[in-house]
Structure 1
Amino acid sequence: MTAHGTTSTSEGIDVDPELFAAEWKAWHVGKDAGLASEHGFLAITGLHWLSAEPQAFPGAPGTWSTGPEGVVVELDEGAELVVGGSPVRGRYVFGVIPERGGIDAVWGDTVIEVAKRGGNDVIRPRHPDHPLRAAFTGTPAYEPDPRWVVTGRYEAFDEPRPTTVGATVEGLQHVYDAPGRVVFRLAGQELSLTAFNGHAPGSLTLLFTDETSGVTTYAANRNLTVDSPGPGGAVVLDFNRATNLPCAYTDFATCPLPPAENRLPVAVEAGERIPHERGPVA
């Protein structure tokens, strides 16, 4: 901290530490609130893979299958789902679900997520009373530190590169188009991370691991969202906002693994740590 009550980022930019910490805390609380929402990831009670053979699954009504016409459910007499605000009974065809797409079907206070992941149709019941959600007390994290805010440069590839990555589910693969990479300096080294498109238009998603992975942070992956690049490809990486993906909390997630080149050879002691749900944090 400087004599004027400010502290500096790794780029030497002075910031108000109290404001910085308050903004980080509001972000962190909001992120956890979404995770633990009534039908968020902590409410998932199972991950069920569909096949041509109709099957019944715990926590979901009827029997479920998939085939040329997409996902189909055969509901028992008297059972009802609400899809897109409309009640459905008997046989209902969800149709072909696009990759990484999904449809929510409401069954009482449960939401049945119908989705496609890695080319496979799945359903995931989400029940608000699931013990994992009920016991959730928040995600441990490093204290926010402006020194983990770095500037970088986004370098677009000539053409988006289809990139195949593994998943936390054995044998599953995801394919994403990588539009470019982000180059930055950290711990005295020039480093880069292959970037994928983020949820917000123009934003980027960086999946990575580092020397803390499996020690104080979740072993499989970490995620950092970067706002749209500015002039000359300028970007800001705030590693204080590196998050866990849902697989850090539940085995019912199909999260992607980082590309092989996205293993950072430094310890990024910032952002979210191993969740309580996965055991004690070092």
Structure 2
Amino acid sequence: NWINRKKMINDSYFGGFILLGFPGWPQLEMIISGVVFFFYTIALIGNIAIILVPLLDERLQIPMYFFLRNLAILDLCYTTNIVPQMLVNKTISYAGCVAQLITFLALGATECLLLAVMSFDRYVAICRPLHYVVIMNPWFCLRMIAFSWFTGFSNSVLQSSLTLNMPRCGHQEVDHFFCEVPALLKLSCADTKPIVAEIFFFSVLILLIPVTLILISYGFIAQAVLRIKSAEGRRKAFGTCGSHMVVVSLFFGTSIYMYLQPPSSTSKDWGKIVSLFYGIFTPMLNPLIYSLRNKDMKEAFKRLMLLTFYYKK
């Protein structure tokens, strides 16, 4: 048995993979490719702007924009990890698939934790405004960011190892647009139930713990805002947090739908659409939500445009 299992694992490492996409819907795949390219272009422009504007404007050198810049970097890498391969080539080498899987899982887990960190930042800003500078000092912010990235990549290495060590017996056709855990597990010729249970456990930790912390933070925020007597003050406070809650709802809603339910409970094609939503559509929306709903960002962007126009003249 050991010899047969070793042979199956060795066979699984041979060659690359074929990304099927929507094999029965070639016209739909062409439409999706065009839409994805459009969203990817917006995501590139928007996230690069969010990275550069706070760096170039001294008025935005505060923790909120430090975390937002990290979110933009995450989203930029997140989409770039998926879209170019998806649009250009339907085959991927084994090494390329491993790199794509590890990067996708790492950035996704890191974003879960980063969104929780951002909710804590908003909690301190609204509920403890007099202590904000002391609590959210640069060293503390750096440690929270480092913890998010380290935990995200540690989770990724663990889940990727569990997924890639499953024997595939030569199966190479991945029924997806990119190398994702559920699609790769379906290639296995061994019993995947123990691995699925372990991955489910780690997914619960990465998804539900940050969601719980976010809900607790916003519960305190809602109480604090409702105690504000000024209608203008309440509107400003809710406006500050509204964009963050939109991002949280979109990202966690689709991620939980995809990873915290049995694989057989949804159709394969619908699972692909959901994956595209949290992997491409949400990163495209993040810069639009944060820039269009953020007065400081819009004013900083206008100042930079005026300075650029002035120096060109």
Give the TM-score normalised by structure 1: 0.27
Q: Which has the higher contact order (CA 8 A, sep 6+)?
A: 2
Kindly indicate which of the two structures has a greater share of residues assigned to strand: 1
